Amino acid sequence: MNGLQTARLGLARGGIELRQTFTYGPDLVAYLFFPVIDLGVLFLMRGHQVPGTSFSLGSLTLPSVIGLGLAFGGLVGVTAQLCSEREDGTLLRAKATPGGMTGYVIGKICYISAGALAGLVGTLVIGLIAFAGLQLTLGGVATLAWVSVLGLLATIPLGIVAGSLLPNPRFMPLVMLPFGAIAAVSGIFYPITHLPDWLQVVGQVFPVYWVGLGARAALLPSSLASVEIDGSWRLPLAFLVLALWSLLGLALAPTVLRRMARHESGSRVAARRERAMLRAT
């Protein structure tokens, strides 16, 4: 019963934060920045064809970008939020409230998931209208649904772990740079099959490749599976890899988060404030 009430409070919190993002200029700009640039670039790529086919390169890349956006929101989004809200004392306030930490985490998961899914739907709608060759069948919707849910499940807990471990937001490059490197070898903007073998292996270890692959499987004609590794969408394997990352994240996140939260206190936040102020002046 109590758990249900707290879950409801978390949901309310996520809703409030989502509304704030969509009604606050700077947040909205930050939220739309990458999707708009990506879509713009893809739009310019429409005229080019996937080598060996007559399919538009822009249309091929769009589903991958949807997958990338999901993984980026889940991992980098959560890390950045957790990190900065720990520094500014939001977390300590949650800790001082009965059930507040649970509510905070549920709220954050809802906020990030809803934000990522809204981005997905937005990009998808634009893609279906403006990019030739994309198709959305009932089966595709189902694939996209499970890939999205599992993609968020695989990345959000990892984001919670990273956000708990980073000392402050100035350390964000420690997450951004590896994420960028992983994205580069995940077949998002550049086909993974054109990379050296060992880089293909590296790319396939991480969730980004599989979320992108799943999105392509959902939105592209089945004939295009031919340009993938093994000439197949390999959905069972995508499910397995994403599920393993989810399990790993879910196993680590609560412990790491609790350990971090246990050490939060007024004097810690005050010390961080002082340090950040020194940097600012």
Binding site for other proteins (CB under 8 A): 2, 5-6, 9, 12-13, 16-17, 20, 24, 27, 85, 88-90, 92-93, 95-100, 103, 262, 264-267, 269-270, 273
* Bridge partner residues of 49 (DSSP): 56
Cβ-based nearer residue to other proteins, 46 or 95: 95
User: Are residues 162 and 77 in contact, defined by beta-carbon separation less than 8 angstroms?
Assistant: no
Cβ-based nearer residue to other proteins, 71 or 106: 106
Among 204, 203, 214, 209, smallest CA distance to 236 is for 214
Cβ-based nearer residue to other proteins, 46 or 93: 93
CB of 118 to other proteins, least distance (A): 18
CB of 229 to other proteins, least distance (A): 44
Q: Can you tell me the distance from the alpha carbon of 60 to that of 141, in angstroms, rounded to the nearest whole number?
A: 17
* Bridge partner residues of 56 (DSSP): 49
Q: Can you tell me the distance from the alpha carbon of 101 to that of 91, in angstroms, rounded to the nearest whole number?
A: 7
Cβ-based nearer residue to other proteins, 99 or 122: 99
* Cα separations in angstroms, 17 against 24, 35, 216: 10, 20, 31
Cβ-based nearer residue to other proteins, 97 or 222: 97
CB of 102 to other proteins, least distance (A): 9
Token pair for 144: 């996209």
User: Are residues 212 and 68 in contact, defined by beta-carbon separation less than 8 angstroms?
Assistant: yes
